[in-house]
Amino acid sequence: MAKPALGRGLGALLSGAPPAGRPTASAPPAPVLSSPVPATDTLERVQRVALGRIRPCSFQPRKKFSEEALRELADSIKEQGIVQPLIVRDRGDYFELIAGERRWRASQLLGLAEVPVIVRQADDRAVLELALIENLQRENLNPIEEAHGYAQLIEQFQLKQEEVATKVGKSRAVVTNALRLLKLVPSIQDAVRDGLLSVGHAKVILGLATEKQQKTAAERVIKDGLNVRQTEVLVTRLQTGGSAVKTPGALTPLATDANVADVENRLRERFGTKVRLRYAQGKGSVEIAFFNDDDLERILQIVGVKVD
């Protein structure tokens, strides 16, 4: 039986609009070899450089490379060659990669002597920006690597979050929510990096004040395979001093209208915190949780409320 639809106001809001950040079904897959790089100057030329003279970039935000994916790329290069030249900068005795580390690593697997490159003038800040943009556009970074990349731009080059968001083509909320992940204890960051915890889980766990509580919640989520809503119930119990030792079924929240749940998820992504939407016959309320003054100020900035 179909679930009852929401009222016209909220239903119209949802109809035909895919959730932010989700690709549409008709979106074409990204080509294997192409890599987004800045538009090149007409005077730039492709030249061949000895593979041994190229070194990885110290600003590369991506730390993990799938061996299987690299082997697949190496097989493709073996058949078709390197379609997109690597982007490098001249460092005197060697060339430093700006974009194209996957192609460089795959070329090493093949034992290539030379690779095509474009040499570009770029300072450290530009190199970090370009490396972030390339990886973000190809969705190559895990959430923790992405967060560290934003943090590096802010700390090393004294940029504001709005400036970072503009440079990498993301919203301020995306950058803010990513940076919040770095407040997690290292072991939980590792779990997010390794895919044991989702970003949704991590954002809920951030509502816990102590490292001990965060670790307890993360261990329980991983052990019992809790979904995000079950994790919210678990976190609420820990916040109120309740026992976390319950059966997984006891953590299952009450069933909610699918459209309401979808809106709650979007709001949760937007504000980076727990959000409860109460809706009935065109009326209701939105409850946004915050856990300290800084968190409240962050939420107020998102909705455009200035604090004197």
Spatial distance between the Cα atoms of 240 and 225, rounded to a whole number of angstroms: 22
Scanning the chain, the segments in alpha helix (DSSP H) are 8-14, 67-80, 101-110, 124-137, 143-157, 161-168, 172-180, 186-193, 199-205, 211-224, 228-239, 258-271, 293-302
Task: Tell me the CA distances in angstroms from 125 to 15, 62, 128, 174, one per residue in order.
Answer: 42, 16, 5, 21
253, two tokens:
């929240």
Spatial distance between the Cα atoms of 231 and 245, rounded to a whole number of angstroms: 13
Beta strand 275-280 with 54-55 is unpaired
Task: Tell me the CA distances in angstroms from 237 to 86, 101, 234, 247, 276, one per residue in order.
Answer: 52, 45, 5, 13, 16
Q: Cα 185 vs. chain centroid, distance in angstroms?
A: 18
User: Any idea which residues carry the catalytic annotation?
Assistant: 101
